[in-house]
Amino acid sequence: MAVYTEVSEGEAGALLQSLGLGELTALRGIEGGIENTNYFASSTQGEWVLTLFERLTHAQLPFYLHLMKHLAQHGVPVPEPQAKAAGVRVRAGEDDILHTVCGKPAAVVNRLRGKSELAPGPAHCAAVGDMLARAHLAARDYELRQPNLRGLAWWNETVPVILPHLDESQAALIRAELAYQNHTGSSSAYAALPRGAVHADLFRDNVMFEGTPEQPVLSGFFDFYFAGVDTWLFDLAVTLNDWAVDLPTGTTDAARTQALLNAYQAVRPLADAERRLLPAMLRAGALRFWVSRLWDFHLPREASMLKAHDPGHFERVLRQRIAAPLTA
């Protein structure tokens, strides 16, 4: 999250009133992340998050926002987009949970309770695995469709753009891995993997916990704006690559990996084909975020608050996933 577009208190307050969310009492830009403009907005009726979308369009956003609403209505703890209040006029063809602020598409969701756990233990990973599987099953009957916009096609488009910024070893690795993922993606085994709407970015800072470190309670997960239709296995792999690795080295943490996988499979057991392709999808998840972090690092956009993530982290994760494949 970052601030690319400055929103005044007057503009934010008018939006909250149109949603029936009370009077604005405080507005604060949120630091961290790199995709959208985000503010915490306090009102006389609660705590909210205002997001202005800097890359996604009005046409693309209904998929994400209605997915969040769908999951919330199926008992999955995610932020629920707020609709215009009764009596507020909505133009024909407009979506009542998609708004416009400063000329940008925008949404307001309830702010989740708790805090992120940036040094998770096995108990945190088990809670994440359980809820991720429940989210996958809850989204089976979600009707809107949109591809994962940061999937294989995007990697193929973006790698040539970032290659000039890499040294010889990095360039050789990224070319080889992209070729491997293209081969995997064209296989019949990959085509047969179960799929649906996925989060695709379920990192530690996108999950909130209450409770104690010994007995954490997952209070919600958020930031669905990389979601799309993809394989459930890819979503699981992306999650494992953040929650169950050692950050300094990128190596697998066995206890956290087992906790997350066991909890996931207690809700949705992996098929044999998914077990066989898990090592490939772990590599795919590492490649996806190495490519995007290289792009953001070397070709940044300006923002009043912006911290580009270290691309080297997912290079290390990818090298580890190649050298020491994980079996499920």
What pLDDT tens digit does each residue of the chain (328 aa) get? Answer: 468 899 999 999 999 999 999 999 999 999 765 678 999 999 999 999 999 999 889 998 999 999 999 999 999 999 999 999 875 655 545 689 999 999 999 999 999 999 999 999 999 999 999 999 999 999 999 999 999 999 999 999 999 999 999 999 999 999 999 999 999 999 999 999 999 999 999 999 999 999 998 899 999 999 999 999 999 999 999 999 999 999 999 999 999 999 999 999 999 999 999 999 999 999 999 999 999 999 999 988 665 445 678 899 999 999 999 999 997 6
CA-to-CA dists, residue 314 to 4, 67, 153, 283, 285, angstroms: 26, 28, 19, 10, 9
Number of residues assigned to the chain? 328
Within a 10 A sphere around the Cβ of 13, how many other Cβ atoms?
18
Which residues fall within 8 angstroms of residue 84, CB to CB, at 6 or more apart? 18, 19, 20, 90, 96, 99
Structural contact between residues 111 and 30, judged by C-beta atoms closer than 8 angstroms: no
**pLDDT the model gives residue 35:** 78
Spatial separation of the C-alpha atoms in residues 271 and 214, rounded to whole Å: 31
What angle in degrees, to the nearest 10, is found between the helix axes of 168-185 and 152-162? 160
Q: pTM for the full model?
A: 0.91
Closest Cα partner for 79 from 123, 41, 117?
41
CA-to-CA dists, residue 103 to 11, 57, 90, angstroms: 11, 11, 17
At residue 58, the 3 state secondary structure works out as coil
DSSP 23: -
